[in-house]
């Protein structure tokens, strides 16, 4: 028989167990909220109270440039490698460096740190900017549902607001940036069927816009979204066909929509009131009312998205016009189009551009290479009215196949900022940013950094016959920079086959080549360019004894790159030992040949 006392005792035990269980649950929730997710230990953040005057709207003149300062930012290794990117922006006299680690904001004039925002055990997967506000989107490592969005004062780094739940509207995966414009940042929810506008300064939701039936915002697609301070544009997935949605940021209304012709490759860019769309088969530009004022057809017009810039009522866009039948080489063109009339003001055929930027009434175009086979990248300084321009080399090497940062270009305060990917440090590489200022003009043309063409050594003269395999002769080749030619290369081949013993010189039979890749104004400039080239080379091996410094590429390529004073030379052979021996011969002759 159960007594009243035993029943009370059993109820007391049950209540005690429930109380203990509730305490554990509440304690776990509170521990997760106040300890595991607490700001006090997760956030590594600094702020600054020093004012920062904006940069003057001017870049360096069309003369040789020199490095003012530089910065290397390692590419991260996260659980989401597609988001391990580095990106840059210039805001209010500051350089903003974005990486998976967080935000690093520096004085754009000197490179000195002003403030930063890092968060332990979280990855930064997106960012946006408008006015004087930076917005960061973070997800907790290993917990994709645990996300956070913060608004930060771009000048001082102070926290303006913090919000959980929303996700960015269509991140551009190559830069991690998503649209914000006119003081509004664009977000969505898990279903991605509705576009919301939040105040960039307070985080308060201002408006909501339901997408057309069957359409949704992509999570992250290269060149899928973009914005200026006037408009924002989104590529939205509508099943059978994609659409480009152009939105007024303040009111949230649709300005116009575009149905793209190729749903698999639609990409877009925005500048001022202009929206440029490339859908894989055509390149179109729209004004603020949705009127098409440029339409160019062709599947090879752009790689991903054509570089573009807007200035003085004109759109400048770089694209490919086709390939010449005789050598299958694409013809690249920079065209200036009047936005009001749609008429072409001028165009010029030129090497392809990786990026365009406008400052001080000039257009700066980043060439991936000054000219083949020369080593440095180049910048064209162009008058947007006439299309006339000057090409100058820069101490940057852009090599195909490297990832981590999209080549980037900006100008301001008399400086030119260039960012490019690097293979070092291993294993994931880095983004290298160089701030350039005007340098010494020199006696020679700006296309050769002020070095007279006569000071370039003749590549064929660097290897005398006594140091070549028997029967070899050299065939010179020249590099042309905007019509200016220098004797950059020499290919050595056997005149005819000879029946020699296996241990004779003909064991080395094959093609040998010597390439003078650059002659710098001084040793310091050559050393900086040599280091930049080595840092972009995945296959760079240990140093080789030749000249002032040298390295081999790969284990069996037979290629040596070396610097002798202000000259950089590459020697290629089928055998590594041969390349090393010939490099030593050339190094001994270069001072007399230069």
Long-range contacts (CB closer than 8 Å, 24 or more residues apart) made by 327-336: 330/300, 334/365, 334/382, 334/387, 336/384, 336/387
- What CA–CA distance (Å, rounded) separates 224 from 219? 10
For residue 335, what are the contacts with CB-CB under 8 A and spacing of at least 6?
316, 317, 318, 319, 344, 346, 347
Q: Which of 331, 337, 282 is nearest to 309 (CA)?
A: 337
Say whether both 356 and 461 belong to one domain.
no
- What CA–CA distance (Å, rounded) separates 478 from 506? 28
Say whether both 112 and 239 belong to one domain.
yes
Answer for the pair 335, 324: CB distance below 8 angstroms, yes or no. Answer: no
Say whether both 139 and 216 belong to one domain.
yes
Answer for the pair 157, 115: CB distance below 8 angstroms, yes or no. Answer: yes
Query: DSSP class of residue 50?
Result: S
Give the CATH number for residue 324. 2.40.128.630
Flag whether 528 is in a domain: yes
Flag whether 583 is in a domain: yes
Mean pLDDT for the chain overall? 86
Flag whether 181 is in a domain: yes
Flag whether 277 is in a domain: yes
Q: Give the pLDDT band (50/70/90) at residue 18.
A: low
Last residue of a domain, one of 354, 372, 387: 387
Number of domains composing the chain: 2
User: In the numeric block, which tokens belong to residue 412?
Assistant: 């301001």
Query: HSE of 343 in the Cβ direction (CA atoms, 13 Å)?
Result: 2
Give residue 448's pLDDT.
Answer: 95
User: In the numeric block, which tokens belong to residue 285?
Assistant: 């530009």
Flag whether 353 is in a domain: yes
Flag whether 434 is in a domain: no
Say whether both 162 and 295 belong to one domain.
yes
**Average pLDDT for 565-583:** 89
* Cis? peptide before 405, omega within 30° of 0: no
Give the CATH number for residue 488. 3.40.1000
Query: For 248-261, how does the pLDDT look when each residue is reduced to its tens digit (9 = 90+)?
Result: 999 999 999 988 86
Say whether both 469 and 553 belong to one domain.
yes
Last residue of a domain, one of 387, 402, 421: 387
pLDDT score of 40 more than 70: no
Say whether both 363 and 507 belong to one domain.
no
pLDDT score of 79 more than 80: no
Say whether both 126 and 203 belong to one domain.
yes
Last residue of a domain, one of 387, 414, 435: 387
Query: For 341-356, how does the pLDDT look when each residue is reduced to its tens digit (9 = 90+)?
Result: 999 999 988 878 999 9
The parent domain of residue 156 ranges over 39-64+77-387
Give residue 544's pLDDT.
Answer: 80
Q: Give the pLDDT band (50/70/90) at residue 501.
A: very low
Say whether both 365 and 467 belong to one domain.
no
Say whether both 169 and 311 belong to one domain.
yes
Say whether both 480 and 560 belong to one domain.
yes
Give residue 59's pLDDT.
Answer: 95
| Longest Cα–Cα distance in the chain | 117
Query: DSSP class of residue 507?
Result: G
User: In the numeric block, which tokens belong to residue 484?
Assistant: 């200016």
Flag whether 21 is in a domain: no
**Average pLDDT for 180-198:** 95
Say whether both 364 and 472 belong to one domain.
no
Query: For 460-470, how does the pLDDT look when each residue is reduced to its tens digit (9 = 90+)?
Result: 999 988 888 88
Say whether both 463 and 582 belong to one domain.
yes
Return the higher-pLDDT residue of 540 and 361: 361
Flag whether 164 is in a domain: yes
Give residue 30's pLDDT.
Answer: 47
Give residue 218's pLDDT.
Answer: 87
């Amino acid at each position: 028989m159960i007594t009243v006392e035993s029943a009370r005792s059993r109820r007391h035990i049950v209540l005690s167990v429930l109380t203990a269980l509730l305490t554990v649950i509440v304690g776990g929730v509170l521990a997760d909220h106040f300890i595991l997710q607490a700001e006090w230990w997760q956030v590594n953040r600094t702020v600054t109270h020093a004012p920062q005057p904006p940069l003057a709207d001017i870049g360096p003149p069309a003369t040789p440039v020199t490095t003012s300062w530089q910065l290397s930012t390692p590419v991260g290794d996260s659980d989401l490698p597609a988001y391990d990117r580095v990106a840059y922006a210039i805001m209010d006299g500051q350089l903003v460096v974005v990486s998976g680690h967080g935000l690093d904001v520096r004085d754009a004039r000197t490179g000195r740190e002003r403030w930063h925002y890092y968060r332990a055990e979280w990855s930064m997967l997106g960012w946006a900017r408008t006015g004087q506000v930076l917005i960061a989107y973070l997800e907790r490592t290993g917990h994709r549902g645990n996300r956070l969005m913060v608004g930060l004062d771009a000048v001082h780094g102070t926290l303006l607001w913090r919000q959980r739940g929303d996700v960015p509207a269509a991140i551009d995966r190559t830069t991690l940036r998503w649209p914000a414009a006119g003081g509004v940042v664009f977000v969505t929810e898990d279903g991605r069927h509705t576009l919301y506008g939040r105040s960039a300064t307070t985080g308060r939701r201002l408006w909501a816009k339901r997408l057309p039936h069957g359409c949704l915002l992509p999570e992250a697609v290269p060149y899928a979204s973009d914005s200026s301070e006037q408009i924002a544009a989104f590529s939205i997935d509508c099943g059978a066909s994609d659409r480009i949605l152009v939105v007024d940021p303040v009111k949230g209304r649709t300005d116009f929509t575009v149905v793209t012709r190729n749903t698999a490759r639609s990409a877009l860019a925005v500048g001022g009131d202009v929206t440029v769309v490339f859908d894989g088969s055509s390149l179109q530009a729209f004004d603020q009312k949705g009127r098409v004022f440029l339409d160019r057809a062709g599947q090879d017009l752009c790689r991903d998205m054509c570089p573009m810039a807007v200035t003085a009522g004109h759109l400048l866009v770089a694209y490919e016009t086709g390939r010449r039948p005789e050598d299958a080489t694409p013809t690249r063109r920079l065209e200036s189009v009047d936005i009001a009339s749609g008429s072409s003001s001028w165009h010029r055929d030129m090497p392809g551009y990786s990026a365009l930027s406008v400052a001080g009434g000039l257009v700066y175009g980043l060439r991936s290479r000054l000219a083949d086979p020369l080593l440095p990248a180049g910048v064209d300084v162009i008058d947007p009215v006439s299309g006339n321009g000057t090409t100058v080399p820069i101490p940057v090497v852009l090599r195909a196949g490297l990832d981590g940062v999209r080549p980037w270009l900006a100008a301001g305060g008399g400086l030119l900022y260039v960012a490019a990917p690097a293979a070092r440090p291993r294993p994931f590489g880095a983004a290298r940013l160089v701030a350039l200022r005007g340098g010494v003009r020199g006696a020679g043309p700006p296309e050769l950094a002020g070095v007279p063409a006569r000071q370039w050594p003749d590549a064929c003269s660097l290897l005398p016959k006594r140091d070549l395999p028997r029967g070899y002769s050299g065939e010179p080749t020249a590099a042309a920079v905007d019509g200016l030619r220098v004797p950059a290369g020499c290919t050595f081949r056997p005149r005819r086959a000879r029946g020699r013993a296996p241990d004779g010189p003909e064991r080395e039979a094959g093609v040998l080549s010597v390439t003078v890749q650059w002659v710098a104004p001084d040793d310091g400039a050559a050393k900086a360019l040599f280091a930049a080239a080595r840092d972009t080379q995945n296959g760079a091996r240990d140093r080789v004894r030749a000249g002032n410094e040298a390295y081999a590429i790969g284990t069996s390529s037979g290629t040596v790159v070396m610097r002798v004073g202000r000259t950089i030379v590459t020697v290629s052979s089928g055998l590594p030992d041969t390349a090393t021996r010939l490099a030593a011969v050339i190094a001994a002759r270069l001072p007399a040949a230069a």
